[in-house]
Amino acid sequence: MNRIITIGREFGSGGREIGKRLAETLKIAYYDSEIVTGIAKKTELAEQYVHQIIEKKPLMFFPITVGKTFYDGVSPLAVEQSNAIYIEQRNIIKEMAEKSDCVIVGRCADDILADMKPLKLFIYSNMESKMERCRQNASVEEKMTDKELEKHILAVDKERARYYQFVTGKKWGERLNYDLCINTSNINPSEAVELILKLLR
């Protein structure tokens, strides 16, 4: 079975950079937004629309396993498209993980690939360090006030939690969903990667 590492992460915790560096060092595949691109191509929907549904505004906020839809004002077509995208995303993630060793950041890969026994990591840090990281890395967040930035960070994670709940029926960030939860408040991405590499050796 391939070596699969899934990374869940709080916004601003450095999880994405850690995932990229880890994949680079291990010389294995790295996935995150590429998945959405793949889905968009396969389903022939505009990528922007797919991205909106998958990342920001899932149309139904209930576990897919419940097997019941609450249309409630949402058009059946939109619901069908949302379901189609979810199923397609699931297939693509599985396909990629079966193809080769890889690091997958986000996208509920920890749950989707559970059968393949991935190493499931969750990266988190305190608000102060998340804000600092956002200031260093991003262009949009640069212009925000501290208050706006904090609100933005919390909002992104709220959406992630909502989407994780939607896809897996489980609570995002709940420690039992992961093998190891790493606090990056006091370490930089390189140190976190070094730590993960030690575990893999």
Binding site for a second copy (CB under 8 A): 122, 124-126, 173, 175-176, 178-183, 185-186, 195, 198-199, 201
Nearer to a second copy by C-beta: 64 or 195? 195
CA distance 85 to 119: 25
Q: What are the two backbone dihedrals, phi and then psi, of residue 42, each rounded to the nearest 5 degrees?
A: -65, -40
CA distance 47 to 55: 12
Nearer to a second copy by C-beta: 158 or 175? 175
CA distance 85 to 87: 5
Nearer to a second copy by C-beta: 140 or 176? 176
Nearer to a second copy by C-beta: 54 or 153? 153
Nearer to a second copy by C-beta: 1 or 180? 180
- How far, CA to CA in Å, does 92 sit from each of 142, 158, 187? 34, 25, 33
**Smallest distance from the beta carbon of 33 to a second copy, in angstroms?**
26
**Smallest distance from the beta carbon of 181 to a second copy, in angstroms?**
4
**Smallest distance from the beta carbon of 50 to a second copy, in angstroms?**
31
* Beta carbons of 19 and 7 less than 8 angstroms apart: yes
**Cβ burial 70-79 (10 Å sphere, 16+ → b, else e):** eeeeeeeeeb
Q: Are strands 102-105 and 29-31 parallel, antiparallel or unpaired?
A: parallel
